[in-house]
């Protein structure tokens, strides 16, 4: 089939966005992977599919596929691209929409200045629900958070890193580093992503605290590798930093591809994500 798509990004986290309401889409993992492939396909960190909702009360259903072809629960930067896409394509006239995802309902809103704010829902903090297997581990308390030691096998040597575990619908392991630019993201990111204690794999965040309202963050994303920004990773990192007593809401997150702003009022409350979404080009591909 000839597939129409839109290439978009949010702070450099890039997407192929597909209207699955006016096109009949039933792709295999290999086809999603081809769309995400930067050499043989279009190229993207994630492919986002817009569908009619199957749940009452929602405006749309939002499905997310990582570049490796796997379907995942949530994508924060993608949710901003999503609301811009449905507005630009005339699929809605509303500036605020409710969107069904694999991880529950989220609510993105197009602001008058073109920025987009998303109610990402409340973070999940119980390790077993992240999911993280904490069996037999002794966590260290810091503020309201528990830091878990994760042992990494580095070519014969063993290194232990202290992580917070948070789910924003998708799983995150957040560690604090002194200098984010020097952090071993490429080396330890894949080891954390595939660590046996995360049965569904995990997104690995490396956060440098700059001030109580300001961090720098790099994320090695599950199913992709390091991306230029990660929306849910930013939410998870700020939640971990606030729980550790190191940050106060709101927090500016500097990612390599741009800036995001995160607000969180505490346990049981939703995390709010604000940032840009940009349409890059429209295309068609035979798939
Ligand atoms: N880039 C995303 C997260 C996309 C999904 C993630 N790689 C996962 O596998 O959970 C974001 O902006 O949140």
Establish whether residue 251 lines the binding site of ligand 1, counting it when its CB lies within 6 angstroms of any ligand atom.
no
Establish whether residue 77 lines the binding site of ligand 1, counting it when its CB lies within 6 angstroms of any ligand atom.
yes
Q: pLDDT class for 117, splitting at 50, 70, 90?
A: very high
pLDDT at 147 over 90: yes
> How far does the centroid of ligand 1 lie from the alpha carbon of residue 87, in Å?
22
Per the DSSP assignment, residues forming a β-bridge with 127 are none
Q: Specify the pLDDT at position 173.
A: 99
Q: What is the pLDDT of residues 5-19, one digit of tens each?
A: 999 999 999 999 999
Residue 167 to residue 185: CA distance in whole angstroms: 20
84-103 in b/e form (b: 16+ CB < 10 A) is: bbbbeeebeeeeebbbbbeb
Q: List all residues 6 or more positions away from 181 whose beta carbon is below 8 Å from its beta carbon.
A: none
Q: What is the pLDDT of residues 180-227, one digit of tens each?
A: 999 999 999 999 999 999 999 999 999 999 999 999 999 999 999 999
Residue 9 to residue 47: CA distance in whole angstroms: 11
Residue 74 assigned ligand-binding role: no
| pTM across the whole model | 0.98
Q: List all residues 6 or more positions away from 155 whose beta carbon is below 8 Å from its beta carbon.
A: none
DSSP secondary structure, 142-203, as one string: ETTEEEEEEEEEETTEEEEEEEEEEESSSEEEEEE-S-GGGS-HHHHHHHHHT-TT-TT--E
Q: Output the average pLDDT for the chain.
A: 97
* DSSP type of residue 123: P
0.85 surpassed by complex ipTM: yes
Which of 85, 65, 18, 87 is closest to 285 using CA atoms? 18
**pLDDT (mean) for 32-49:** 98
> How far does the centroid of ligand 1 lie from the alpha carbon of residue 65, in Å?
9
List of E strands, 55-142: 60-66, 71-72, 99-101, 104-110, 116-119, 140-142
Q: Specify the pLDDT at position 103.
A: 97
Q: Tell me what percent of the residues of the chain surpass a pLDDT of 70.
A: 100
Residue 13 assigned ligand-binding role: yes
Altogether, the residues listed in the chain come to a count of 287
Which of 1, 93, 89 is closest to 50 using CA atoms? 89
End-to-end C-alpha distance for the chain, whole angstroms: 5
Residue 78 assigned ligand-binding role: no
pLDDT at 99 over 90: yes
pLDDT at 139 over 90: yes
> How far does the centroid of ligand 1 lie from the alpha carbon of residue 76, in Å?
7
Residue 2 to residue 55: CA distance in whole angstroms: 29
pLDDT at 155 over 90: no
pLDDT at 114 over 90: no
Residue 170 CA, closest ligand 1 atom number = 10
**pLDDT (mean) for 240-252:** 98
Residue 219 CA, closest ligand 1 atom number = 1
pLDDT at 229 over 90: yes
Q: Specify the pLDDT at position 185.
A: 98
Q: Is 75 an active-site residue?
A: yes
Residue 227 to residue 246: CA distance in whole angstroms: 25
Q: List all residues 6 or more positions away from 274 whose beta carbon is below 8 Å from its beta carbon.
A: 111, 115, 116, 117, 118, 260, 261, 262, 263
Residue 84 to residue 103: CA distance in whole angstroms: 21
Establish whether residue 69 lines the binding site of ligand 1, counting it when its CB lies within 6 angstroms of any ligand atom.
no
Q: Tell me what percent of the residues of the chain surpass a pLDDT of 90.
A: 98
pLDDT at 279 over 90: yes
Q: Specify the pLDDT at position 159.
A: 95
Residue whose CA is closest, atom 4 of ligand 1?
A: 75
Strand 271-275 and strand 116-119: the pairing is antiparallel
Residue 79 to residue 77: CA distance in whole angstroms: 5
Phi first, then psi: give them for residue 242, nearest 5 degrees: -70, -45
Residue 231 CA, closest ligand 1 atom number = 12
Phi first, then psi: give them for residue 238, nearest 5 degrees: -70, -40
């Amino acid at each position: 089939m000839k597939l129409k798509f839109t290439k978009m990004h949010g702070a450099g986290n890039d997407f192929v966005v597909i209207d699955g309401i006016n096109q009949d889409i039933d792709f295999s993992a290999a086809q999603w992977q081809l769309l995400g492939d930067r050499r043989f396909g279009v190229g993207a960190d994630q492919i986002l599919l817009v569908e009619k909702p199957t749940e009452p009360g929602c405006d749309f259903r939002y499905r997310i596929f990582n570049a490796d072809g796997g379907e995942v629960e949530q994508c924060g930067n993608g949710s901003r691209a999503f609301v811009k896409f449905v507005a630009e394509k005339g699929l809605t006239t509303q500036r605020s929409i409710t969107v069904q995802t694999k991880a529950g309902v989220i609510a993105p809103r197009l602001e008058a200045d073109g920025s987009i704010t998303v109610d990402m829902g409340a973070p999940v903090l119980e390790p077993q629900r992240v999911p993280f297997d904490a069996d037999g581990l002794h966590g260290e308390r810091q503020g309201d958070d528990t830091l878990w030691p994760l042992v990494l096998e580095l070519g014969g040597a063993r290194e232990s890193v202290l992580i917070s575990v948070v789910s924003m619908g998708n799983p995150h392991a957040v560690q604090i580093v002194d200098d984010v630019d020097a952090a071993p993201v490429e080396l330890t990111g894949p080891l954390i992503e595939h660590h046996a204690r995360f049965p569904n794999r995990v997104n690995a965040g490396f956060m440098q605290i700059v001030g109580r309202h300001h961090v720098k963050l790099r994320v090695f994303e599950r199913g992709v590798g390091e991306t230029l920004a990660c929306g849910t990773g930013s939410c998870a990192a700020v939640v971990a930093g606030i729980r550790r007593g190191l940050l106060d809401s709101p927090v500016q997150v500097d990612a390599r591809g741009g800036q995001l702003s995160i607000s969180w009022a505490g346990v049981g409350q939703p995390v709010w994500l604000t940032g840009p979404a940009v349409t890059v080009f429209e295309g068609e591909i035979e798939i």
